[in-house]
Amino acid sequence: MAKPRVEALEDAAIDLRSDLMAPRPPQVAAALALAAQRAPAMNFLEDSQERALYEALAAELDVEAVLLVPTCTMANQIAIRLHLPDGGTIASAALAHVVTVEARATALTGVEALSVEAHDGHPTPDAVADFLRRPQARGRALFWLENTHMLSAGSVTPDGWQDEIARLCRGAACKLHLDGSRLWNAAVARRTPMSRLTEGCDTVSLSLNKAIGAPVGSVLVGSRATIEAAAAWREALGGEWRPIGAVAAAALAALDGWRERLEVDAAMTSILSDRIGRQLGPEAIRPSPTNLIFLNRPIGDARAFVEVLARLGVRTIAIRRDVVRLAIHSGVREREVAQVAAAVFAAHAELAAQ
């Protein structure tokens, strides 16, 4: 059988490997350039841009204190060290970032990782209650949530679950951490304030460079005492910026209009998902309420699919042997959606014909 002719698409650089690849909002670049011209500060909280960023995020998230760190991995690792300074047990969904993508970093803390029953990547309240009755939960334990859940196609914690889990953890004197790397996208999907999604958690980590378009950085948030201790860990782990002003100013500028930008991203994700589902069938795609699209490859290898898409001008990644991930961001609008859909259909046809 003759293979279908596949032509490279126009604008051969649609990069959907991560929402990190999004173009930065104009105000972010302007703020970065302006802040870089100011006299640098050296000590913690000496810089006015750093203080302004913390004040804005504390108000947005309804938390007492905020700490800027280089990556969400570092924010998560600091949280483990704060809550389990002498070791203990982290309980999470089996596919949580902290025990998959970040497993090597987590291993350095010396804690034991334990998985609990989850639905679509999110531990159920019943599973949390069951864990809290186990011997491992007595004294030195940390329960771990992730919202959105990346390895479950950007799924969002079901309504009410976090409230119930927080109540259970408080009753058992078990600390609760939320890995909210893409919590911004969850807030858009749920049409709720960010502060609603941080309720009940002792600490929360959030990326600033994935969803809202800061050039670099993440934050860890919590009580004032917790974040003061976190600042010491940031220094110990080599994550203390000097100077910090330009980074903080760019992150502060990225907060302006973030919800409106992510609403457009969600709309583009929905349009692309619908097109793929109509053309290739619902089994070819895993629905997502946020900005991640998972393509199922029941026939063919995901890496081969990624290679064909790259030749066609669309860069993606293989999450598993049979799953390809597309991360939609502000660089993807109606025109790019059409190009990406055409590339997916062409790649599917080429591999199916082999």
- Reported as a pLDDT band with limits 50, 70 and 90, residue 139 is confident
Asked whether residue 335 carries a pLDDT value surpassing 90, the answer given is yes
CATH code matching the domain that covers 26-254, chosen among 3.40.50.80, 3.40.640.10, 3.40.47.10, 3.90.1170.50: 3.40.640.10
Alpha carbon 235 to its chain centroid, in Å, reads 24
For residues 36 and 106, which has the higher predicted lDDT (pLDDT)?
Answer: 106
Res 9: pLDDT: 44
Q: Which range among 11-20, 38-47, 51-60 shows the weakest confidence by mean pLDDT?
A: 38-47
The 10s digit of each residue's pLDDT in 275-299 is 999 999 988 998 889 999 999 987 7
Average pLDDT in the 28-52 region? Answer: 87
As a whole number of Å, the end-to-end CA separation of the chain is 8
- Reported as a pLDDT band with limits 50, 70 and 90, residue 327 is very high
CATH topology of domain 14-23+258-352: Aspartate Aminotransferase, domain 1 (3.90.1150)
Res 12: pLDDT: 53
pTM over 0.75: yes
Residue located via tokens 């709720």? 192
Do 198 and 204 contact (CB within 8 A), yes or no?
A: yes
Average pLDDT in the 129-156 region? Answer: 94
- Tell me how far CA of residue 96 lies from CA of 92, 274, 318, in angstroms: 6, 27, 17
Res 100: pLDDT: 96
Q: What is the domain partition of the chain in residue ranges?
A: 14-23+258-352, 26-254
Residues in contact with 285: Cβ distance below 8 Å, sequence separation at least 6, in sequence order: 273, 276, 277, 293, 294, 295, 296
Asked whether residue 193 carries a pLDDT value surpassing 60, the answer given is yes
Phi, psi of 200 (to 5 degrees): 85, -5
Distance (Å, whole) CA 43 – CA 36: 17
